A and B are shown apart, each in its own frame.
Chain A
Amino acid sequence: MNKQINSVSFHEDFVQWADVILDESNIVIRRAVSDSLPLIIDHKSLNQTESINQISKKLVTLIEQNSFSKEKVRFTFPSKFSLIKKIALDSTISSENYNEFIFFELEKIWEEPSENYQIYQLEKVEASEGLTEILILAVRKKVIQYFQDIAEFSGLELDVLTPSCFTVDELYRQLYPDAKGQTLIIGWQRRGYDIIISTPEQFIHYDFKPYNTDLNTIEQIDEEYLLSSFDLLLDEIQSPPVLDRSLFNIKTIVFYGYHFKAEWLDIIQAQVQLPIKLFNVDTNSAFQLKIQDALLSAENIFQFVEPISNIF
């Protein structure tokens, strides 16, 4: 059965829209566009109603230019706007008491009063004997309301709202269900990397790492420095400084993101012993890709992973 999906991905300073048809074995991309936003979405703009108006106007323009549907539109927002954490609990603790342990763990990391957040319990996994791991998502209520207001101001019927890391993880599982071990999925964003670690069985980890301590944009950073330091980044992800053990055992690396350039792949591959590939829909994937947009090619799907990922 065919399902037509309009999926919008918000980034810090641009937006992507994909009009996709999904059936049991095909992903048909009818149209996919990117456009810059009139402002940067950050803590400051989240508090300004005017920024909602400006972004809504941009969406309305995109809809008019591309004849996108306003019905049942799906939104992803940058995962760095949320707190994502795995919590290990004794299996003797009954599930009705999870909440206060979750609260205790989150209390250590959030920077606003707890009542400002919505907290969600996602996956629950028996990690080892006597230990249960729970994946927790905390999002500021203001962030959720902000994107709901954008939908409302744009006249869109919002169907799904979610941080992008979970949809990207889901797309990878759907496309490559036979992947083995831990996969490091890196999204090259404007000011840093979205780092997702996933196995076929579960979502393992999310983190955002800026390209440098000054939070410069990718265009402001020397390309040679950026590419030559990838092996250091990988070390830091697997074995953060001062740690006595590796946190992860990564088997494969996958790149996506609008800011990544395909020609960088070989330069990075030369530094790293692990297999690296672009997040495209290739011949090994569980779905066939069909593109109806003349401006898009199958080799550049990795730049539109976020809006496409929200189709499952």
Chain B
Amino acid sequence: MAKINLKTANPLTLIDTSKTEKLEEEPFVSKKLPERKENIDLSFTSTESFFDKAEPQTEAKDSNESFLIEEEQPETEEEETLQRGTYAVQEDEFNIFKSTLSVKKPFFIFGSIVLLLLLIIFIVYQLTKSGEEVATTKELPKQPLSTQLSETQTIKSKEVVLLPIYQQNLNSNRFLKNNLQNFINQKPGSADFSLIVMTPTDINLTILADSRDQIARFHMDLKKAFPSFGFRIIAVQPKSNKKIYADLSARVNPPKTVAPKPVSEIKALTTKNIANEFQSVAKKYGVQIQYFKKGNITNRITYSETVYYAYLNGRKENLLNFIGNLVESFPMIKINKFSIYPYNLEIITDNNLSTRLIFTYYSAK
């Protein structure tokens, strides 16, 4: 039932748009990331203002499923030697400790009791902290931010089962990206886009026009410019007394075949580092992330699908480059939908635009 009593109903609380305007002028990382300090892991602090808390059980599960299995192996001879050296020093220290144990036994027992007490106090203190703090601690990336941002790994054997999905993703994502570039760059001049929404199966365009005649003219021009798309006008809506929005829609079918992506070039993603990788690409192209949120998780037999959605701001070229890089670097994600529109909700120009992006991340179990 749609009936409502405004006397008693609770209105919605909406987002503060002034925050978006303010963030536009601020570099995403430089002002939000705290300075790094020795022995303090600030990687959580760096992301908490932008990225939602993950579901604790999901994160706990993923911590055992990292793509970065090779990271634990020494990669060079030099590293191997260094590790052997470390083990040798530890062995010597253990022998000295063993030989003096009987002499220093009372001190050792006393010291152990003190350490035990300190440990108990620490645990009690942790437990008395708020539930929120405990939950967010679980989300902390365990690695320093700098290493997360630069990792390029070969995928593990269990991810091989996902290669066909990766190829499909890449195919679909490239199709979306190319369509976006084509529509933005080859738009007919008879009206301006106010919103572009693309999914793997549909393209929806909203234009802002002065009259219904102008809408009809644009429709004709669009058909000439993109004859393979059967665009239809599906809705018109007055914006004010002078302007009219028109929604045009077309069904699309991505091509079936695509060249496989070389496995060695695929950048590893996990539910832990996905936010930071996303942030890294955004920073590279001067795109500001307003938020990056985790959605539903669907578990399949051999893999799981996690939906993410993001809200970004940037100049037109920067956003297009950002999407292009995302598409080529991360075939484990499939873009479900993206929409591009101007800040002022009027028409798309080269200047500041906003993008909403929804994608699914595929990870092997």
Chain B, Cβ-Cβ closest to A136: B12
- Known contacts A92-B307, A137-B4; is A120 also within 8 Å of B295 by CB? no
Chain A, Cβ-Cβ closest to B214: A242
Chain A CB within 8 A of B13 CB: yes
Taking the nearest CB of chain A, how far is it from the CB of B135, in angstroms? 16
Residue of B2, B215, B219, B345 near A135 (CB, 8 A) is: B2
Q: Are A243 and B236 in contact (CB under 8 A)?
A: yes
Residue of B4, B219, B239, B336 near A120 (CB, 8 A) is: B4
Chain A CB within 8 A of B103 CB: no
Q: Are B235 and A243 in contact (CB under 8 A)?
A: yes
A120 CA to B345 CA, complexed, in Å: 22
Taking the nearest CB of chain B, how far is it from the CB of A27, in angstroms? 17
Residue of B11, B14, B245, B336 near A90 (CB, 8 A) is: B336
Q: Are A243 and B233 in contact (CB under 8 A)?
A: yes
Taking the nearest CB of chain B, how far is it from the CB of A128, in angstroms? 12
A312 CA to B233 CA, complexed, in Å: 39
Q: Are B233 and A166 in contact (CB under 8 A)?
A: no
Interface residues in A152-206 (C-beta closer than 8 Å to B)? 158-162, 166-167, 169-170, 173, 202-203
- Known contacts A92-B336, A99-B14; is A203 also within 8 Å of B295 by CB? no
- Known contacts A90-B336, A102-B12; is A109 also within 8 Å of B307 by CB? no
Residues of B within 8 A of A109 (CB): 237, 239
B interface residues, tally (CB under 8 Å): 40
What are 25 A-B pairs with beta-carbon distances under 8 A? Answer: A92-B307, A99-B12, A99-B13, A108-B237, A114-B17, A119-B11, A119-B12, A120-B9, A121-B12, A122-B2, A122-B4, A144-B6, A166-B3, A166-B4, A167-B3, A170-B2, A173-B1, A240-B235, A240-B236, A241-B212, A242-B215, A242-B246, A243-B234, A243-B235, A243-B236
Q: Are A170 and B4 in contact (CB under 8 A)?
A: no
Q: Are A139 and B1 in contact (CB under 8 A)?
A: no
Interface residues in A74-107 (C-beta closer than 8 Å to B)? 90, 92-94, 97, 99-100, 102-103, 107
Taking the nearest CB of chain A, how far is it from the CB of B227, in angstroms? 16
Residues of B within 8 A of A137 (CB): 4
Q: Are B233 and A102 in contact (CB under 8 A)?
A: no
A121 CA to B14 CA, complexed, in Å: 12
Interface string of B311-351 (1 = CB under 8 A from A): 10000000000000000000000001100000001000000
Interface residues on A, range: 35 or more
Residues of A within 8 A of B14 (CB): 99-100, 102-103, 114, 119
Chain A CB within 8 A of B5 CB: yes
Chain A CB within 8 A of B15 CB: yes
In the complex, the 9 A-B pairs of residues with the closest C-beta atoms, listed nearest first = A244-B232, A203-B2, A118-B11, A92-B307, A103-B14, A166-B3, A161-B6, A100-B15, A119-B12
A289 CA to B357 CA, complexed, in Å: 54
Chain A, Cβ-Cβ closest to B246: A242
Residues of B within 8 A of A122 (CB): 2, 4
Residues of chain A at the chain B interface (Cβ within 8 Å): 90, 92-94, 97, 99-100, 102-103, 107-109, 111, 114, 118-123, 135, 137, 139, 144, 148, 158-162, 166-167, 169-170, 173, 202-203, 240-245, 247, 312
Residues of B within 8 A of A203 (CB): 1-2
A8 CA to B14 CA, complexed, in Å: 32
Q: Are A103 and B15 in contact (CB under 8 A)?
A: yes
Q: Are B337 and A160 in contact (CB under 8 A)?
A: no
Q: Are A92 and B309 in contact (CB under 8 A)?
A: yes
Residues of B within 8 A of A243 (CB): 232-236
Interface residues in B200-259 (C-beta closer than 8 Å to A)? 212, 215-216, 219, 232-237, 239-240, 245-246
Residues of chain B at the chain A interface (Cβ within 8 Å): 1-7, 9-15, 17, 194, 212, 215-216, 219, 232-237, 239-240, 245-246, 293, 295-296, 307, 309, 311, 336-337, 345, 358
Binding site of B, secondary structure by majority: helix, strand, loop or mixed?
A: mixed
- Known contacts A92-B336, A93-B309, A100-B15; is A118 also within 8 Å of B239 by CB? no
Chain A, Cβ-Cβ closest to B294: A94
Q: Are B6 and A139 in contact (CB under 8 A)?
A: yes
Residues of B within 8 A of A312 (CB): 3
Residues of B within 8 A of A92 (CB): 295-296, 307, 309, 336, 358
Chain B, Cβ-Cβ closest to A102: B12
Q: Are B245 and A108 in contact (CB under 8 A)?
A: yes
A121 CA to B7 CA, complexed, in Å: 15
Q: Are B7 and A160 in contact (CB under 8 A)?
A: yes
B3, B13, B212, B358 interface centre (most CB from chain A within 10 Å): B3
Taking the nearest CB of chain A, how far is it from the CB of B312, in angstroms? 14
Residues of B within 8 A of A158 (CB): 7
Residues of A within 8 A of B4 (CB): 120, 122, 137, 162, 166
Residues of B within 8 A of A245 (CB): 232, 234
A158 CA to B3 CA, complexed, in Å: 17
- Known contacts A102-B14, A120-B11, A243-B235; is A90 also within 8 Å of B337 by CB? yes
A100, A123, A247 interface centre (most CB from chain B within 10 Å): A100
A166 CA to B3 CA, complexed, in Å: 5
Q: Are A162 and B233 in contact (CB under 8 A)?
A: no
Taking the nearest CB of chain B, how far is it from the CB of A187, in angstroms? 16
Q: Are A169 and B15 in contact (CB under 8 A)?
A: no
